[in-house]
Amino acid sequence: SQQGEEDPQALSIQEGENATMNCSYKTSINNLQWYRQNSGRGLVHLILIRSNEREKHSGRLRVTLDTSKKSSSLLITASRAADTASYFCATDPDLGSGTYKYIFGTGTRLKVLA
């Protein structure tokens, strides 16, 4: 498969707890993005982190990137029931690859219990 890998595949937490999901990829990248997909709906962009950045924050979201390990993590703090969704990382290859192929991970299904 051309997809990146995410873990855990599924995560169930109580409202108010933090949720952490991880993404590993195989090739060198330009950017890494995280998307959310609610059941039966389209994907929504959450945050983009560039290859020269190590950490980025947006509201309750915190993303880290370790290019030496080819991995990223997404932390959602103080989770809410509305955060229940599937979360995907997506990488775009660097300029030298000559391709425009974005590679999505297999996703983490998060369930936040009220």
Residues that bind another protein (CB under 8 A): 2-4, 30-31, 33, 35, 41-45, 48, 50, 88, 90, 92, 95, 99-107
CA gap 111, 109 in Å, rounded: 7
Closest distance to another protein from the beta carbon of 38 (Å): 11
Nearer to another protein, 15 or 67 (CB): 67
Nearer to another protein, 14 or 52 (CB): 52
CA gap 82, 86 in Å, rounded: 12
Q: How many CA atoms lie within 13 A of 2 on its CB side?
A: 8
